[in-house]
Amino acid sequence: MINKWDLVQKEYRSKATKFMTKQVERALNEVKDVPMMYISAKTGYKIDSVMDEVLKVYEKWNVRISTGILNNWMKNLKKVHFLPTDGGNDLKIRFVSQVIH
């Protein structure tokens, strides 16, 4: 959520949106496709939609990916990217699994 949107003049909102997107992507580069919502707590602009967005992100965060899909992904990754080595020994990943706690 990007607050204080009421302070951004309408003619600058497009540029401000691009700028904020770049800033968030740079600061959170390990998290891709983060939805951003521009709000104003003072005026109530889009405040009613905040919880809906939070719940959408929560659902995405808790998606279960099967071991088979993860192993196919790893197999394809190995084709295009070298795995790291430890003291000259190749790292051998046998399978990948998602752990939910």
Domain segments of the chain: what residues?
A: 5-61, 64-101
Question: pLDDT (tens digit, 9 = 90+) per residue, 10-58?
Answer: 999 999 999 998 998 888 877 777 788 999 999 999 999 999 999 998 9
d(CA 66, CA 75): 14
pLDDT higher than threshold 70 for residue 101: no
The model's pTM: 0.62
Looking up tokens 């905040």, which residue turns up?
50
Distances (CA, A) of 7 to 20, 38, 40, 71, 86: 14, 11, 9, 48, 52
